[in-house]
Amino acid sequence: MKAHVSRRDILKAGVAAGVAIEVSFLSSAQAQLIETPPRPGPDWLKADGRPKYRLDAIAKVTGEKTFSRDYRARDLEGWPKDQSHAFLLHATRVDRVFDSVDLSLLGDDLKPDRLVLHEDLVADGVVIPVPGFYGDVFLVPKGQNPRLLGQPVAMLIYRDFARYDAAKRLLRFNDKVVRYGAEAPYSHPPHYGASRYVRIDGGTPDAEDRYSPYKDTVIFAGFNGDEAAWPKPGDGDAMARGMAAADEIRKDIDGAGADALVIKHQYFSQSVDASAMEPDNGNVWYEPSTGILHAMIATQSPYEVAEVAATLVSKSKFPLKKIDLKVGYTVGYGTKDHSIFPFFCIVAALYGDGRPVRLANDRYEQFQMALKRHAFWMDNALVIDRKTGKFRAMSGHFKNDGGGRANFSFSVAFVGATAAQSIYYLPKSDFSAVALASRAVDAGSTRGYGTLQSMSATEMMIDEAAELLGMDAIELRLRNVFKSGMKNTQGAIPAGALRNEEILAKARQHPLWTEKAKKKAAYEAANPGKKYGVGYGHVQKDYGTGAEAALATLEFDAKGRLSFAHVAHEIGTGTTTSQAIMVRDILGKAPEATEYGKVEWPQMPLETTDEPYTMAQAEEDKRKQNPRWTPTFTSPMSATNSVYYLGHATREAARTLLELAIWPAAQSLWSRGIGGGVIAPYSVRREELRLDGGVINAGGLPALTFEQVAAEAHRLGLVTGVTVHTFNRWQWAQAEFDVAGSRHKLPIDALAVKYGDGASADNKALMTLAGWQFVERASIIYPPTQRNNAGVTYYAPMATLAELVVDTATGDVTLLSHHSIMECGTQVVPELVSGQIQGGIAMGIGHALKEYLPLYEDGPGNGTWNWNRYELPRSADVAVWSQTSEILPPLSATDPPKGIAEVVMIAIVPAIANGIAHAIGKRFYDLPITSDKIRGALS
C-alpha cells in the first residue's frame, strides 16, 4: 500500500510557485509513452492455451534490446545518431559547504564539453519540480552544505563515449575532485511525518469498535525536535479520543498482572539497496528548435515521469511543447517508482546542445544515489493471556530513516505500522509511524514497503513469546490467527477469505516442524560444532495503494482476430504474459495482438483531479456528477498491483465483451432456422457458456468457433470492442451504462465501445472518438473517501519453514532446506508464481543474513559501495536444490488472483531468525544476523 502522496500533491507545488500548468493526464505537454515491444515467437502458447514461455522470453534470452539501458540514440527512430554521455560528481560529506570541482586531472583533452553546476540551473530556471518530495535542489549550491550524502554537485557532459569513459574512470574515487569550503553545521530537512493507528474493539471481533482509524480517524502529528508531538488525549475531537484510547492501551500494557505475559523488545531492520540488476538510466534528447523533449528512461512510473518532467521543463527558460517518453522493460523492486533519477536525465538533455544525452549509473553510482529500503527502529510490546494464549493488546512505535529527500518515507512508515499485526487479531492495538529526515541517501518505495521490517519483528516476537509461554509456536499463532470477517488494526474488514488457519494447520503437520527436535538431536550428534534449527515465519501482505486505476481494451475483427491493449508495462514480473492469459481464461483464446504500456486512449476522454487520497467527500460527490471525471487515471507499476488491480481491467474488458458480444452473437447463431433453431428446445442460460481453445459451447448446443461468433457479431453490428477504466479505493468503483438498449452494471467507472461492421448508421455515428463511442455512465458509486483510512483490505499470506545449521566456530548460517505455503487465489501462470516465491525468498535471505548498508558517512553515499562488499545471496545461500513450496488450491475457480510479489520475500526473514534461535538458543533483534553477530553471541 502506498498513500497520501499523490502526483497531484506533487504537482500542486508547481502551481503554487506561480507556474500555470494545467496538469491532467498527459494534457499540457501531450506526453506520449511508447513501449518498445519485443515480439514473441508464433508458438508461445501450448495447445491447451497455457504459455510455453513468457511473452518476452525469446527477446530476453537472446540478448535483444529490451531494457531502457540497452538503447542508444542510434536505436531510436527519428533521433539523431550522435550520442552524448553524462555523469555526475557527488558530495561525500555534508559537514562542509561545497566550493567547486577540480577537473585539472583531466587535462585539456578530457575536459567535459559541458559542465553544469547548480548556478547554471538557477540562471536557467531549472528547479526541483516537486519541492519536498524530491528535496530542494538537484545539485549542491556553492557555499551550501549538501542535503544528503552522495548528492550530485556537478554534471559533466561529453559529446563522445571514449572521452566520457576515460574521464569518468579518472575521477572516480578521487576525493580531491569535489572541493569543500568551510565547516558548517548540517541541518536535515524537516522530518517527513508522523501518524498513529489506534484501535480498541467492542469486546468481540464482531462488535462495533470503540475506536478505530476507519470508524474515527488516523492520528497525525507534527514534530518537537526529533520526536512526534502527538495530540493531547481527551474526549473532544477524534484525534484526542484516539490518543485517549492509546493511553488506555499503554496502561493495559504497563499494568498487566501476573496472569499475563508482557513481552517488550526493540527491533532494528537495516537499510538495504534493492540491487536491481539494471541500474538507473535514461537517454533524453531535447530539441530547442521544436520544444520537443524525447526520452527513453527506465522507470516503474512512466506517467509520473512524463507529468513531472513537463512541470520541470515548463518552469525553466527552455521552451516545451511536447514530451515523448519511451519506456523499455525495466526492473526496480519499487526503487524505480518516483525516483529523482529520471529528472537528472531530463536536466542533462537541457544542456545537451540539441544532442541526445545518456545518463546511466554504474553500480557505485547506483549505490550512491538509488532509493534505498528504509532502516526501521521498532519498539514493540505484546500482552498475552497466559492461560488462554490469547493476545490482549499490542503496541509498536516505529521510526524510519528516510534520508535527505522525503520521497515516500512517510507512507512507507505508516504502511509498515498498519502491517505490524501480521496474521493476528488484536483486540487492542496502538501502532505509530514516524518518518525522520537525515543526511542518509534517500529511501523510498522498495519491495515490502515497510512491512518486511514490521512483520518480521512481530514474527520474531511471537516465536519468543511462545518459548516463554512454553507453547508450540504454531499453536500460539493458531490461537490468535486473524479470521475472515475480523477487523484489522485500522478497523476495516479485509476482502474475502483469509486462510491463514489452513496454512498454519499444514505447517504444523509438516515434517520439518514435527521432526525438528529429533532431527536437531541427530544432526548435532553427527556434526559436532554445528547447531541445527528450524524456524517458522508467517505473514500476510497487503497489495495495492488504495487508489488503483487502469485501462484495458479488447476488440476483435470479423475474422475473429483478437487484439488487446493495456496501460501495464513489463518490470520483470511477467505481467505482459499473465494479462494475455487472463484474457484467454475468460474468452477461451489468447489475443493474437498485444500492446502494453499503451498511453493514447482517445476513446477515454476522462478528466481527473488526481487527488484520490485527499479529496473531501463533498468535493468528490460534486465531481463525480461529471461522467467523464475519475479520481485518478492510471497507476505506476508498483505495489504488487499487476495481477489483481491491473488484471481487473483486463478481466472486466473480457467479461464485458463476453456479455455484449459473444453471448448474443452465439445465441443468434444457435437460433437460426425455423422455430428458433437448435437452442429453442433447450433452456440454455448465459452462465452455461463455456469458452476454451477458441471454441464456444453452452448447454449441449453445437460448438461454435470464436471466428464464427466474431463474424456473426460483426454481421449483426453488435459491440465488438470494449475499453474499460477501473478505479479501486480498497473496493471497486461501480457504474451503470446504457449500451445496445439495455443497462449494464459493471465494476468499472468508464466504458467505451466499438460496434461491428454491420452496425446501424445511428450506432456508427456514435463512434466519434477514433472509431469508439465513449458511453457516458448512467450512474456511479465510488467507494467513500473515508475508506482511505482503511489502510488496506487486500491481503495475500505466506508462511515459510526454514531448516538451517549454524557453524559455532564461524557463525555462518547455512540453509539446509525451506518449505513455503502460500495462498494466492487462482494462479494465472503457476510458473511465474513459483518463480516469484523462489526469487522473493532469495531476497529475504539476503535481508536476514547478509545485506547491510551503514546509513551515513561510511554508507553508500560515499561512492565506494558495490557488490564486492555488499553481499547478495548466491545460489549456495538459498538451498537451491532442496527448497519446496505449496500453494493452497483456490476455494473455487472463481477466486480472483492475489498480488504476491512482496509477501514472498518476508516470511523467510523471521523464519531464519527463529531458526537461529532454535539452533543456538540466542535471539537477535537487529538485522541482518551476520556471522560476526552470531560469533559474538556465542563467545
Partner 1 sequence: MTLAMRKLSLTVNGKTIDPVDVPETMMMQDFLYEYLNLTGSRMGCGQGICHACTVIVDGDDGAMREIRTCITGAHWFAGKKVRTVEGHATRDASGAITALSPVQQAFIEHFSFQCGYCTPGFVTGATVLMDELKRKPVRRADLEKTISEALDKHICRCTGYVRYFEAVRDVILKTPGLVKA
Provide the b/e sequence for 840-861 (b: ≥16 CB within 10 Å).
bbbbbbbbbbbbbbebbeebbb
Listed residue (547, 646, 577, 652) closest to 899, CA to CA: 646
The whole-angstrom separation of Cα 369 and Cα 373 is 12
Contact by Cβ (8 Å): 343, 232: no
The whole-angstrom separation of Cα 111 and Cα 115 is 9
Contact by Cβ (8 Å): 369, 90: yes
The whole-angstrom separation of Cα 934 and Cα 939 is 9
Distances (CA, A) of 836 to 40, 443, 840, 900: 22, 24, 6, 8
DSSP code string of 582-599: HHHHHHSS--SEEE-S--
Check the CA dihedral 348-349-351-352 and report its sign: positive
Nearer to partner 1, 336 or 651 (CB): 336
Strand (E) or helix (H) holding 118: helix 118-124
Q: Based on C-alpha coordinates, what's the Rg of the chain?
A: 29
Q: Indicate the pairing of strand 178-183 with strand 773-775.
A: unpaired
Burial class of residue 635, CB neighbours in 10 A (0-12, 13-18, 19+): buried
Listed residue (731, 737, 553, 563) closest to 644, CA to CA: 731
Contact by Cβ (8 Å): 298, 66: no
Q: Which triple of cell numbers denotes residue 3?
A: 498513500
To the nearest 10°, report the CA torsion of 328, 331, 335, 337: 40
3-class DSSP string for 419-487: HCCCCECCCEEEEEEEEECCCCCCECCCCCCCHHHHHHHHHHHHHHHHHHHCCCHHHHHHHHECCCCCC
Distances (CA, A) of 676 to 271, 660, 682, 683: 70, 21, 10, 12
DSSP state of 794: -
Give yes or no for a cis peptide into 784 (omega within 30° of 0). Answer: no
Scanning 568-683, the segments in alpha helix (DSSP H) are 575-587, 617-623, 647-657, 663-670
The whole-angstrom separation of Cα 290 and Cα 292 is 5
Contact by Cβ (8 Å): 597, 621: no
3-class DSSP string for 516-570: HHHHHHHHHHHCCCEEEEEEEEEEEEECCCCCEEEEEEEEECCCCCEEEEECCCC
Q: Indicate the pairing of strand 607-608 with strand 629-630.
A: parallel
Helices 409-419 & 451-469, crossing angle to 10 degrees? Answer: 30
Q: Which triple of cell numbers denotes residue 820?
A: 513455503
The whole-angstrom separation of Cα 582 and Cα 592 is 13
Distance from CA of residue 911 to its chain's centroid?
24
The whole-angstrom separation of Cα 251 and Cα 547 is 37
The whole-angstrom separation of Cα 330 and Cα 569 is 9
Contact by Cβ (8 Å): 792, 489: no
Phi then psi dihedrals of residue 520, to 5 deg: -60, -45
CB atoms within 10 A of CB 292: 18
Alpha carbons within 13 angstroms on the beta-carbon side of residue 231 total 20
